[in-house]
Amino acid sequence: MNTVSSAIAVLFPGVRTSDIVNAANTNGVSVLLKEPYDPQKNYHRFHKNLRPVISDDGIGLLFIFSDGSSMYGFDRRSISKIMNKVTELQGCVL
């Protein structure tokens, strides 16, 4: 990636600080805020409402899982793929 995008880090239980740093470096993003994952939150709507407030574009959601893996969602399609993975993992210990 040539440009660095901004992201809100969505943290699952058990995420370490080193996981956040590694995920940001791997995905080429700068983490603006960190917030715990909330299963009741609609992350599609959260992303849609957040974009005009912070910048015109380049803002995304960086989901960081407890095993250290991460996924970066920057549009509706990519966030949908992430939420499908989260739905699959809901029966597992995160």
In a domain, 73, yes or no: yes
- Residues lower than pLDDT 70 in the chain: 1-4, 49-58, 91-94
In a domain, 51, yes or no: yes
Class of residue 53 by CB neighbours under 10 A (exposed 0-12, middle 13-18, buried 19+): exposed
10: left (phi over 0), alpha (psi -120 to 50) or beta: beta
In a domain, 94, yes or no: no
For residue 51, the model assigns a pLDDT of 56
Range(s) of the domain holding residue 22: 5-89
Percent with pLDDT over 90 in the chain: 50
In a domain, 18, yes or no: yes
Q: State how far the Cα of 28 lies from the Cα of 3, in Å rounded to an integer.
A: 8
In a domain, 27, yes or no: yes
In a domain, 11, yes or no: yes
For residue 64, the model assigns a pLDDT of 96
Q: Model pTM?
A: 0.82
In a domain, 74, yes or no: yes
* Tokens found for residue 93: 């210990």
The domain tally of the chain equals 1
For residue 94, the model assigns a pLDDT of 47
